[in-house]
Amino acid sequence: MENHSFDNILGWLYAEERPLRNQRYEGLHPSMWNPLHSVDANGVPVIEKVYVKKNGAPIKGTKFIKATPHPDPDYSLPHPDPGEGYRDTNYQLFQNYIVPDDYPPEPTNMGFVDNYANTIINGTYRFFGGKINDPREIMTCYTPEQVPVISTLAKEFAVCDYWFGSVPSQTLPNRDFFHAASSCGQVNNKPQPHCDAKTIFNQMQEAIQQGADHLSWKVYASTSRKFSSDAETDSLTANGTDFSLTRLIMTQLHDLELTPNFLTIDHFYRDAKTGNLPSYCFLEPQFSGPGQNDQHPPADIRPGEKMMADVYNAVINSPKWEETLLVITYDEHGGGFDHVPPPAQAKSPDGNKTPGQDEFTFTRFGVRVPTVLISPYIERGTICRPAGYTPFDHTSVIKTVQNCFGLE
């Protein structure tokens, strides 16, 4: 899924109860806050404490905010879309847009409200419906009742409260890391949307060609449209082939011989029903249009909840359920508030310490994202986190696939 922080979706998961197995859960507390810097009517600088709150909770009136006893929940939060690029994320974490990467300070996670205010003032994302929101809303997070599917799955199986984005930035570099453990030096979506790194799919394909015919892989995409007017990318959708963001951004997947591995989400449901799911598969939501269900702000999150439910039901009713691990996660935090500082002990891709875009050396993780693990072998109510100091991140999936199928 797309662009929500852990706290934004699952921060209140255990606010009203203790975890079933009495494990510690790194969730929200009403005392958490961020500053909002502004000036009063006389031009005097003021700092307001903006506290985290539940979506739809009564709003107490202050000199800054009008009281609202019974606000309706907003299912498109945050709206407008916050800043999500590398420099915006720096400000959210360090209250500074430029951070020395060789000796970065300790992140405080105290810049989310001010950064959101700057985003709104600059009008960067006004094309999303033109709504100009209160920057305090970045501290508003969904309750379990508003995201019942992922919340129920998190409690019935396992929730990872120490899973971070691989890059402190936006969608494409994080998706690159999910598939290849590298973004080829890119930390933003632009100017270069493509990554030439070898993916886990390529590694599996090589193993298949070398005789591991028990292995298989597929990418199931929800969107049907051509990549662009470019001849190369158009050729990838010729003969009825459907759009896949994964295939678009990872150039080593452009080989037309790999086309049979890219199918629609309808094929996933059929394969699950017949017990023909591959060894490893990756599912894409619909990223735009009338059927959008990727949950990218400010899209309504409820269609994405329905997709999770549909996928879950397909998996548990599949003949292969007892052999399946389903991972539901998000590519990046999308500018949404999270209170846990990301660790700084990330390893540079391929041991290459040469700085990439914006002089970033890829030694810091991104912000926490919601991640749920679903399997018949997971004990109910599990809170899953690594035993050591290294957190889970998107490359944990690659490592799991490699270990599971002996690809190292």
Q: What is the pLDDT of residue 352?
A: 73
Least confident stretch, 22-31, 64-73, 339-348, 399-408: 64-73
The answer on pLDDT for 125 being more than 70 is no
Least confident stretch, 53-62, 94-103, 285-294, 339-348: 53-62
For the chain, the average pLDDT equals 91
Q: What is the pLDDT of residue 383?
A: 98
Q: Does domain 148-405 have CATH number 3.40.720?
A: yes
pLDDT tens for each residue of 197-233: 999 999 999 999 999 999 999 999 997 554 444 544 4
Q: What is the pLDDT of residue 61?
A: 61
The answer on pLDDT for 131 being more than 70 is no
Confidence band, pLDDT 50/70/90 cuts, at residue 133:
confident
Extents of the domains making up the chain: 24-141, 148-405
pTM: 0.92
Q: What is the pLDDT of residue 65?
A: 60
Distance (Å) of CA 254 to CA 187, 199, 208 = 22, 12, 18
Percent pLDDT > 90 in the chain is 79
Q: What is the pLDDT of residue 121?
A: 82
Q: What is the pLDDT of residue 385?
A: 94
pLDDT tens for each residue of 236-271: 444 444 689 999 999 999 999 999 999 999 999 999
pLDDT tens for each residue of 352-383: 778 899 999 999 999 999 999 999 999 999 99
Instruction: Give the length of the chain.
Output: 408
Confidence band, pLDDT 50/70/90 cuts, at residue 348:
confident
Residue type, 336: G
Q: What is the pLDDT of residue 354?
A: 81
| Residue in 162, 155, 98, 131 with CA at minimum distance from that of residue 342 | 162
- Torsion, Cα 118 124 125 127, to 10 degrees, reads 140
Give the number of other Cβ atoms within 10 Å of residue 273's Cβ: 13
pLDDT tens for each residue of 158-174: 999 999 999 999 999 99
Confidence band, pLDDT 50/70/90 cuts, at residue 103:
confident
pLDDT tens for each residue of 272-320: 999 999 999 999 999 988 899 999 999 999 999 999 999 999 999 999 9
Residue type, 59: I
